[in-house]
Amino acid sequence: MDDRQEMARLREEIETHNHAYYVLDNPSIQDHEYDALVRRLRMLEAAHPEEAHPDSPTARVGGRAAFSPVRHAVPLESLNDVFTLEELSAFDARVRAALPGPVAYVLEPKVDGLSVALTYEDGRFVSGATRGDGVTGEDVTHNLLTLQTLPEALRGAPARVVVRGEVFMPKAVFRALNAEREAREEPLLANPRNAAAGSLRQLDPEVAARRRLDIVLFNIQDMSGPWPETHREALALMAAWGLPVIPHTVFTALPPLLDAVVRLGDTREEHPFDLDGAVVKLDSLPGRRLLGSTARAPRWAAAYKYPPEQKETRLTDITIQVGRTGVLTPRATLAPVRLAGTTVTNATLHNEDFIRDKDIRVGDTVVVQKAGEIIPEILSVTLSQRPADAVPYVFPDVCPACGAAVVREEGESAARCTGAECPAQRARRLAHFASRGAMDIEGLGPATVDLLLARGLVKTPADLYRLAPADLADLPGFAEKSALNLVAAIDASRQRGLERLLFALGIPQVGQKASVVLAQHFGSLAAIRSAALEALTALRDIGPATAESLRRYLDSPQGAHLIDTLEAAGVRSTAAQPLVSGGRFAGQTFVLTGTLQRHTRDQAARRITAEGGRVSSSVSERTSYVLAGEKAGSKLTKAEALGVPVLTEEDFETLFL
Looking up residue 320, the CATH number of its domain turns out to be: 2.40.50.140
CATH number at residue 35: 1.10.287.610
Question: CA of 109: how far to CAs of 244, 250, 252, 267, 310, in Å?
Answer: 14, 13, 18, 11, 21
> How much is the pLDDT for 35?
67
Which residues form the catalytic set? 110
State the Cα–Cα distance between residues 484 and 439, nearest whole angstrom. Answer: 18
> How much is the pLDDT for 340?
65
> How much is the pLDDT for 36?
72
Q: Which of 143, 109, 114, 146 is nearest to 131 (CA)?
A: 114
Alpha-carbon torsion (103, 106, 109, 115), positive or negative: negative
Say yes or no: 47 and 88 in one domain. Answer: no
Is 186 a residue whose pLDDT tops 70? no
More confident residue, 358 or 41: 358
pLDDT digits (tens, 9 = 90+) for 337-391: 887 656 788 898 989 999 999 999 999 999 998 765 556 889 999 999 999 999 9
Q: Does 64 fall in a domain?
A: no
> How much is the pLDDT for 356?
93
Radius of gyration for the chain, computed over Cα atoms and rounded to the nearest angstrom: 31
Cβ partners under 8 Å of residue 515, min gap 6: 498, 499, 500, 502, 503
Q: Which of 167, 220, 215 is nearest to 194 (CA)?
A: 167
Say yes or no: 252 and 200 in one domain. Answer: yes
pLDDT digits (tens, 9 = 90+) for 156-184: 999 999 999 999 988 888 888 887 877 77
Measured between its terminal Cα atoms, the distance across the chain in Å is 75
Q: How confident is the model at residue 9 (pLDDT cuts 50, 70, 90)?
A: confident
Say yes or no: 469 and 359 in one domain. Answer: no
State the pTM of this model.
0.52
State the Cα–Cα distance between residues 362 and 643, nearest whole angstrom. Answer: 61
Q: Does 414 fall in a domain?
A: no
Cβ partners under 8 Å of residue 204, min gap 6: none
Alpha-carbon torsion (52, 58, 60, 65), positive or negative: positive
Amino acid at residue number 365: T
Q: End of a domain among 568, 597, 614?
A: 568
Q: End of a domain among 568, 599, 617?
A: 568
Q: Is 611 exposed, middle or buried (0-12, 13-18, 19+ CB in 10 A)?
A: middle
Say yes or no: 265 and 376 in one domain. Answer: no
> How much is the pLDDT for 654?
83
Say yes or no: 462 and 365 in one domain. Answer: no
State the Cα–Cα distance between residues 524 and 366, nearest whole angstrom. Answer: 55
Q: What is residue 598's DSSP assignment?
A: S
- Percentage of the chain lying above the pLDDT 90 cut: 42
> How much is the pLDDT for 64?
35
State the Cα–Cα distance between residues 655 and 585, nearest whole angstrom. Answer: 9
Amino acid at residue number 354: F
Q: What number of CA atoms fall less than 13 Å from residue 411's CA on the CB side?
A: 1
Alpha-carbon torsion (91, 92, 93, 96), positive or negative: positive
State the Cα–Cα distance between residues 603 and 610, nearest whole angstrom. Answer: 11
Q: Which of 564, 547, 566, 625 is nearest to 592 (CA)?
A: 625
Q: Does 400 fall in a domain?
A: no
Say yes or no: 294 and 331 in one domain. Answer: no
Question: CA of 236: how far to CAs of 93, 164, 220, 243, 283, in Å?
Answer: 28, 14, 11, 10, 13
Question: CA of 239: how far to CAs of 84, 106, 126, 591, 617, in Å?
Answer: 32, 16, 19, 61, 58
Of the ranges 64-73, 197-206, 402-411, 426-435, which one carries the lowest mean pLDDT score? Answer: 64-73
Q: How confident is the model at residue 249 (pLDDT cuts 50, 70, 90)?
A: very high
Crossing angle of helices 512-522/601-610, nearest 10°? 20
Is 394 a residue whose pLDDT tops 80? yes
pLDDT digits (tens, 9 = 90+) for 522-580: 888 999 999 989 889 888 778 888 899 899 999 999 999 999 999 999 999 888 655 55
> How much is the pLDDT for 325?
73
Q: Does 455 fall in a domain?
A: yes
Say yes or no: 248 and 277 in one domain. Answer: yes
- Percentage of the chain lying above the pLDDT 70 cut: 91
More confident residue, 39 or 279: 279
Q: Does 396 fall in a domain?
A: no
> How much is the pLDDT for 1?
63
Q: Under a CB-based contact definition with an 8 Å cutoff, are residues 572 and 497 in contact?
A: yes
**Strands, sheet with 160-168, edge to edge from the N-terminal-most edge strand:** 124-130, 114-121, 160-168, 214-223
> How much is the pLDDT for 315?
96
Say yes or no: 301 and 173 in one domain. Answer: yes
| Kind plus residue range of the DSSP H or E element containing 376 | strand 375-381
Say yes or no: 301 and 314 in one domain. Answer: no
Q: Which of 254, 333, 276 is nearest to 94 (CA)?
A: 254
What average pLDDT is seen over the chain? 86
Question: CA of 50: how far to CAs of 38, 46, 47, 59, 293, in Å?
Answer: 18, 9, 9, 15, 22
Q: Does 345 fall in a domain?
A: yes
Say yes or no: 558 and 435 in one domain. Answer: yes
> How much is the pLDDT for 128?
92
State the Cα–Cα distance between residues 203 and 246, nearest whole angstrom. Answer: 28
Is 458 a residue whose pLDDT tops 90? yes
CATH number at residue 301: 3.30.470.30
Give the number of other Cβ atoms within 10 Å of residue 189's Cβ.
Answer: 21
The average pLDDT across 240-244 equals 94
Q: Does 278 fall in a domain?
A: yes
Question: CA of 319: how far to CAs of 348, 394, 421, in Å?
Answer: 10, 12, 21
CATH number at residue 433: 1.10.150.20
Amino acid at residue number 75: P
Q: Under a CB-based contact definition with an 8 Å cutoff, are residues 219 and 164 in contact?
A: yes
Q: Does 402 fall in a domain?
A: no
Give the number of other Cβ atoms within 10 Å of residue 208's Cβ.
Answer: 24
SS3 475: coil
State the Cα–Cα distance between residues 432 and 434, nearest whole angstrom. Answer: 5
Q: How many domains does the chain have?
A: 5
Q: What is residue 230's DSSP assignment?
A: B
Say yes or no: 468 and 605 in one domain. Answer: no
Q: How big is the chain, counted in residues?
A: 657
Q: How confident is the model at residue 621 (pLDDT cuts 50, 70, 90)?
A: confident
CATH number at residue 600: 3.40.50.10190
Q: End of a domain among 536, 568, 600?
A: 568
Say yes or no: 621 and 556 in one domain. Answer: no
- Alpha-helical (H) ranges within 1-101 are 3-18, 31-47, 85-98
Phi and psi at 650, nearest 5°, equal -65, -45
Domain span including residue 39: 3-59
